[in-house]
Structure 1
């Protein structure tokens, strides 16, 4: 099993596996989402919104009912010649005017949850008065015209009025029922007094139409209320998400500021510690080498050697912390030049060769010939390869083998691979060893414990070069670390420049 880890940024090396969500915001968002998903039925809280929609609709369509009344009266006078329809039209327009007065007063007032029922009753009473006007129309008679023709005219007019009332009072509960119950009562009394088929048929048709429209308006009103409820809860959810986002942004900003402050503190403290430590290393080396004279006590000489070794270890630790803090603070700048990756690898092998021989470890090289130079920071690449080689030597047992490869990648870049046959790393510990100050179980048990900063620094340096770091390992089989530079950093050799004046000289370019 192999695991590849690449980094695309060079600012921060952190463990992103933990969640940093605000629990209170999370609970609020979850509760709002549940309300949104389970919203059913008509909530009493939306009666106010429904009434306001009815008021707005009534005011905006104030001329609809008068137009219907005038058309019905004009059509009746034209068909029957009954001048009495004018009186009915005046009555109907007066009843409609009462409803409009109620609507305009309600529009000018602030309707609260406590006054909603009161205003609903006022509008229903206005509908009852309008119903009396339609009942008066239903009781109209015509002595000069045929009964069937006049009944057909009245039935058609009442159906039109019923439909217009249903459309204009959709948001008012039971408005159609209150408006046309007087008409049904009037028609029923008329049918009882004059039981002919036309009157009975008109009563049946109007009653059936009213029942159907009452049912449809109820369903449409229920659907409108659900839409209002869904929209309201969506607004609540959006508001919660906006709050959560703002809190998350603020937490991220504070975390970035704290991380930057930490990096600056580490960089400052590391710099301050290195100055006295260099003096300790210098004087301890002078004493251990007896430059100014022999130490008569051999124990003191052993102590000075211990001081020098401990100081050197502490200096290495401080240097690694300083490098990491500079990388995290974004202050790690590359000094790029044309360098050969193979030459750097060979130099690093020579630097660890003495330690490898002390453990009887063989270092083998497999390098492709004729590889061109790359555009990179030589010191940084040397640090990368030296860290990987040092880890390989550290964790390879006596008599082991390390294979160093350098060559081309499939994408045209260059790579350096360092493979050992040491104890390897368990798969679940690879993310740990790649995190800052992370150490696997093998490193903890080893006598040569490190700081846990080598591999994170390697990742960050390669990320600065737009490269990639891959760590492959199998327990008890060994580990392979691969440092990759992209193809655009490989410098290709250019053809000779022609002496023709028209051709301008070309500069080196990346692949």
Structure 2
């Protein structure tokens, strides 16, 4: 079977963040290209509709003001033309403005998905040509004294038309052409210098308005693109939220299944395991007589030791699962930290002596008691001392420190003279079932749950866990408990002395005065 590679592990965990970003970018590019292929202006199709919608909103709201402006300008033209001509022109201006407003409102009332964008763009361009042509009829005021009025009116109409149709460059250009031709046609009737200058200024201003409309168009397009990107991000966030909720639901189901499995299997495993331990211990101690073959005694000892190892492993798995699930309940009481450490040291002393280890203790026996779970506290210290004995080479030293912290709490530190842990393996040894390269090479027994259990129990007490280690310098683990768990000496109770009772000869009792 081939070796498990890092790439295979990563594939099992799912795509990396870089891969996810790359896929999102590719999908966005494909979607953009698809939209552009269905567009009529080279933009995304959604932008085509939005740009026309903005134009229609402008025109639907400006129809009445433009009609009033047309009436005012047509009324002013009555100074140079007959009232019939002025009224006819006013009617054309009002009709063109109302027609443009009606078309815009009709467009806005249609369903966005069913709108033929290309047909409406052409229709709006035709409406702009019609409305600008109505305003261009201003040049029919042929009086020389009215030329300034005409040119000024053409400038105003050009400014209004280009700003209204800025989101449709084709419509803006269609609106500007009749106005520019009307301004240039005045040179046919007069070649004096004043008229040439005025016409040149009007045409220049119209070109300027076209450039300004182009800037407005670019700004509007940029705003639409930003809005589309924001909407896309919101959509991705919503999808990510849905995925995370689904993942959380599955994780909760998996956690519940794990809890049920552990609750069931702990009973199913411990029942036969207790029988194995009991019978193997009977055979190991030869309670019913010596074995016929000496090897049977060794087998019984191996069975008993393996059963004890399996029982300890089951207990550790159950403890860690309860800690991770937040179901580990602390049975708190007053515990003397120094005494608990000394008792745990006695428990591992036999194993330490067999390997020639020596203990150096720096313990402050005057420490007050801690309000903690005694069983959890002993398990913390036993796990630390067991690891120190396990990984310290023969003849090594183990240092135990118990004392005050700078913040008023208490700490216990266990340091060994072992080979240490490389920096890149610190995270591994702190993970569940994680074992360093040294433990694997030396085939040391262990489940890799000792330090995670210690950290979990310390966190339950509100303490702090710190692991310090360097290769060839040994390993030191420091566990601190907060000052809030240190029990101060209780003050003496000030009780009034009780007055003695006096019994008379008749058996009656009375309190002495």
Into which bin does the TM-score normalised by the smaller protein fall? 0.7 to 0.9
Corresponding residue of 1:50: 51
Aligned pair count?
479
After the TM superposition, which residues 403-482 of structure 1 pair with which residues of structure 2 at under 5 Å, given as runs? 403-446=399-442, 448-482=444-478
Structure 1, residues 148-171: CA drift from partner, whole Å, max 9, x if none? Answer: 4x2222222222222222222222
Alpha-carbon distance, 1:127 to partner: 2.1
Structure 1, residues 449-478: CA drift from partner, whole Å, max 9, x if none? Answer: 212111111111111111122121222222
Cα distance in structure 2, aligned partners of 1:486 and 1:110: 67
Cα distance in structure 2, aligned partners of 1:63 and 1:76: 20
Structure 1, residues 190-237: CA drift from partner, whole Å, max 9, x if none? Answer: 422332334333322221121111221122112212221221132123
Runs of 5+ unmatched residues, structure 2? 1-8, 497-513
1:483 match: secondary structure:
strand
Cα distance in structure 1, aligned partners of 2:91 and 2:462: 87
Alpha-carbon distance, 1:130 to partner: 2.1
Corresponding residue of 1:254: 250
Cα distance in structure 2, aligned partners of 1:423 and 1:477: 6
Structure 1, residues 42-63: CA drift from partner, whole Å, max 9, x if none? Answer: 6152222211221222112211
Runs of 5+ unmatched residues, structure 1? 1-14, 501-511
- 1:63–1:351 Cα change, 3 Å: same
Corresponding residue of 2:107: 106
After the TM superposition, which residues 233-312 of structure 1 pair with which residues of structure 2 at under 5 Å, given as runs? 233-312=229-308
Asked whether the equivalents of residues 424 and 475 of structure 1 are also in contact (C-alpha less than 8 Å), the reply is yes
Deviates more, 1:383-392 or 1:315-324: 315-324
Asked whether the equivalents of residues 80 and 141 of structure 2 are also in contact (C-alpha less than 8 Å), the reply is no
- 1:331–1:111 Cα change, 3 Å: closer
Cα distance in structure 2, aligned partners of 1:280 and 1:111: 77
Cα distance in structure 2, aligned partners of 1:31 and 1:390: 54
Corresponding residue of 2:171: 175
Asked whether the equivalents of residues 421 and 475 of structure 2 are also in contact (C-alpha less than 8 Å), the reply is yes
2:380 match: secondary structure:
helix
Asked whether the equivalents of residues 155 and 202 of structure 2 are also in contact (C-alpha less than 8 Å), the reply is yes
1:301 match: secondary structure:
helix
1:29 aligns with 2:37: no
2:63 match: secondary structure:
coil
Corresponding residue of 1:6: none
- 1:241–1:90 Cα change, 3 Å: same
2:169 match: secondary structure:
coil
- 1:260–1:413 Cα change, 3 Å: farther
Cα distance in structure 2, aligned partners of 1:473 and 1:349: 22
Corresponding residue of 1:73: 74
Aligned alpha-carbon RMSD (Å): 3.1
Structure 1, residues 379-432: CA drift from partner, whole Å, max 9, x if none? Answer: 111011111111111222222221111001122211111111122222222222
Structure 1, residues 363-387: CA drift from partner, whole Å, max 9, x if none? Answer: 1211123111111100111011111
Cα distance in structure 2, aligned partners of 1:464 and 1:343: 21
Alpha-carbon distance, 1:75 to partner: 3.6
Cα distance in structure 2, aligned partners of 1:476 and 1:494: 47
1:374 aligns with 2:375: no
- 1:194–1:403 Cα change, 3 Å: closer
After the TM superposition, which residues 92-171 of structure 1 pair with which residues of structure 2 at under 5 Å, given as runs? 92-110=93-111, 115-142=116-143, 147-148=144-145, 150-171=146-167
Alpha-carbon distance, 1:113 to partner: 7.9
Cα distance in structure 2, aligned partners of 1:181 and 1:371: 96
- 1:456–1:156 Cα change, 3 Å: same
Cα distance in structure 2, aligned partners of 1:300 and 1:377: 42
1:435 match: secondary structure:
coil
Structure 1, residues 301-321: CA drift from partner, whole Å, max 9, x if none? Answer: 333223222222222222222
Cα distance in structure 2, aligned partners of 1:370 and 1:296: 57
- 1:263–1:476 Cα change, 3 Å: farther
Cα distance in structure 1, aligned partners of 2:462 and 2:32: 46
Cα distance in structure 1, aligned partners of 2:444 and 2:74: 107
Cα distance in structure 2, aligned partners of 1:312 and 1:177: 91
Alpha-carbon distance, 1:180 to partner: 4.2
- 1:86–1:20 Cα change, 3 Å: same
Structure 1, residues 251-309: CA drift from partner, whole Å, max 9, x if none? Answer: 23313432442243234313321222222222222232233334344333333223222
Cα distance in structure 2, aligned partners of 1:380 and 1:111: 67
Corresponding residue of 2:87: 86
Tell me the TM-score normalised to structure 2 length. 0.84
Deviates more, 1:41-50 or 1:453-462: 41-50
Asked whether the equivalents of residues 187 and 199 of structure 1 are also in contact (C-alpha less than 8 Å), the reply is no
Corresponding residue of 1:11: none
User: Which structure's relative contact order is higher, taking Cα pairs within 8 Å and 6+ residues apart?
Assistant: 1
Cα distance in structure 2, aligned partners of 1:37 and 1:401: 68
Cα distance in structure 2, aligned partners of 1:34 and 1:162: 39
1:331 aligns with 2:332: no
- 1:196–1:174 Cα change, 3 Å: farther
